[in-house]
Amino acid sequence: MIYSFCKSNTQYYEHCGKDISIKLIEHDLRVAPPEIPMEQKYYIGFFDEGLLVAVIDLIAGYPNNNSVFIGFFMMNKELQGAGIGSKIISEMLNYLKKLGFEKCQLGIDKTNPQSNYFWRKNGFEVIREAMQEEGTILVAEKQF
């Protein structure tokens, strides 16, 4: 289900320079920073009447104990632009704030204007640039 969901949304993979595959999805489900136990990693699907609306990969307590890190967020291609993604992010961040977290960080592919616009619209501010194999990542943060 996740593979077909991601495969239908090619724009993300075009920007990050990766070919979508089941192997890539399986890797993403299990990858976390070396010092982070898998119990702190969550890969969550959001459904509406059986339809997968969005997926998010987040790590609690990273890069520090009062933070969460979003490693991946993707909306159903057919539902993009309707405000649903912003609502999901807003409600999730409110919930994380209630749990005691103070901020959220994520990486934005510098070449992806759609992603850059979405995260800035949702209150994230770029705090630095980081070079990775795939290119330049904008590290963005939102304080709660």
Q: Return averaged pLDDT per consecutive 10 residues of the chain, 144 residues in all.
A: 77 71 85 92 94 95 96 91 96 97 96 93 96 86 96
User: What is the pLDDT, as a whole number, of residue 98?
Assistant: 98
Neighbours of 106 (CB within 10 A): 20
Tokens matching residue 105: 């960080």
User: What is the pLDDT, as a whole number, of residue 144?
Assistant: 92
User: What is the pLDDT, as a whole number, of residue 9?
Assistant: 78
User: What is the pLDDT, as a whole number, of residue 24?
Assistant: 83
| Residue-range domains of the chain with CATH | 2-143 (3.40.630.30)
